[in-house]
Amino acid sequence: MFKRNTLSLIATLTGGMLFLSGCANQLPQRSEHEERIERKLLDHSLLIEAGEPRVLELPQRRVRVYEQKTFEVTAFDVTLRYDRYTPYQPWRELYEVPLGALAVVGGIGANALNVVLLGSLPDTATKDWISYGFAGLNPAMNVESNGRSQQSLANLEEHRQDARMEYSSLPWAERPVQVSFGKESHELLTDRNGILRLNLLDSPFADKDVSRISTLLLTVEDEQGSARADASLLVSRTLRGKLQEAHDLIYNDLESDDVTQWVHRVKRLSELGLEEEASELEQSLIELTRNDPELQKAFLQALTQDAGRLVADPGND
């Protein structure tokens, strides 16, 4: 008696576990196709265009820096195949079993009618109804449902299509350039176009003994240290002789001077062959006298008469 009760209990528990665990209803596989691009870096270099001539005769120079890369670009055709299934949920059997019974009866009736109609009924009535019905009657399996189906990756296939070389040359934009002279080294930044504007009359050279600067060494290096470039510029003896005087003409106190001394500064810079610096100082002085129209007019007249410079009247802009 004890053994009989035990066996009944085990059978009941086993059936209950099977009912609760159930089986997933497998659906047809689904495939996806996509293209994958693989870029392999073959070469990475930096290029400094310091301009010509390499010997500086003027205090300003525009230096361009480029980052160049060579890639091997390979295209792959990728096929992904997924196994799809409807996960088992026991409570759905409450309505799937009676619906399955109706579907089986309807499927049998449809097949009988199909014989009379010489096979003119669609497969959805003769085959799908019966398949749905038996799946619904199976207590360990739910019927197929695309709406709540799940999937898992079953297979991945890749086929190489072609390979090509790709080149890029981009400006070293807003990134550091190491500028060394003598025992000193300073970090300057390029602009968004990768241009470094060197000016021996500006920082970091302005407060140095520029007459001793004979060589400028420019160095750029990427963050990983995989690419580096160097370039050098020589400063001519003639330019070194002009820099200190030019520095004093530009940076010595302007407000303590009068119009005559201002004109002398502009004229002397021009005589030294530093026309760009002369024009910049001229515009600075015009801006300085903006709030004093009489002083500005006197300065402009003196520039024209004493220095022979053609200056547009800012009042006519």
DSSP for 31-65, written as a single string: EEEEEEEEEEEEEEEEEEE--S-SEESSSEEEEEE
User: How many angstroms separate the CA atoms of 136 and 80, rounded?
Assistant: 31
* β-bridge partners, 37: 75
- Which among 41, 35, 40 has a CA at the least distance from the CA of 76? 35
Half-sphere exposure of 70 (CA within 13 A, CB side): 4
The tokens for 185 are 């080294």
Cβ–Cβ < 8 Å for 221, 46: yes
Q: How far is CA 13 from CA 6, 7, 24, 273, 309, in A?
A: 11, 10, 21, 104, 108
> What is the value of pTM for the model shown?
0.64
- Which among 212, 278, 203 has a CA at the least distance from the CA of 244? 212
Cβ–Cβ < 8 Å for 199, 19: no
* β-bridge partners, 81: 31, 155
CA-based Rg of the chain, rounded to a whole angstrom?
43
- pLDDT at site 188: 94
- pLDDT at site 59: 92
User: How many angstroms separate the CA atoms of 115 and 129, rounded?
Assistant: 16
Instruction: Quote the distance between the C-alpha of residue 79 and its chain's center.
Output: 28
Which backbone phi and psi does 193 adopt, to 5 degrees?
-100, 10
- pLDDT at site 289: 84
At residue 254, the 3 state secondary structure works out as coil
* β-bridge partners, 34: 78
User: How many angstroms separate the CA atoms of 49 and 66, rounded?
Assistant: 8
Q: Which residue has the tokens 């003598």?
A: 182
User: How many angstroms separate the CA atoms of 209 and 235, rounded?
Assistant: 13
Q: What is the pLDDT along the chain (317 residues), one digit of tens a residue?
A: 444 444 454 444 344 444 444 566 677 788 888 899 999 999 999 999 999 999 999 999 999 999 999 999 999 999 999 888 877 777 777 776 787 677 777 777 777 777 767 767 676 666 676 777 777 667 777 777 777 778 888 888 888 888 899 999 999 999 999 999 888 899 999 999 999 999 998 888 877 777 788 899 999 999 887 899 999 999 999 998 898 889 888 888 877 788 889 889 888 998 899 989 988 988 888 888 888 888 888 888 888 876 666 665 565 54
Which positions ≥6 away from 14 have C-beta within 8 Å? Answer: none
Cβ–Cβ < 8 Å for 71, 37: no
- pLDDT at site 211: 75
Cis bond leading into 98, ω under 30°?
no
The tokens for 179 are 């500028």
- pLDDT at site 311: 62
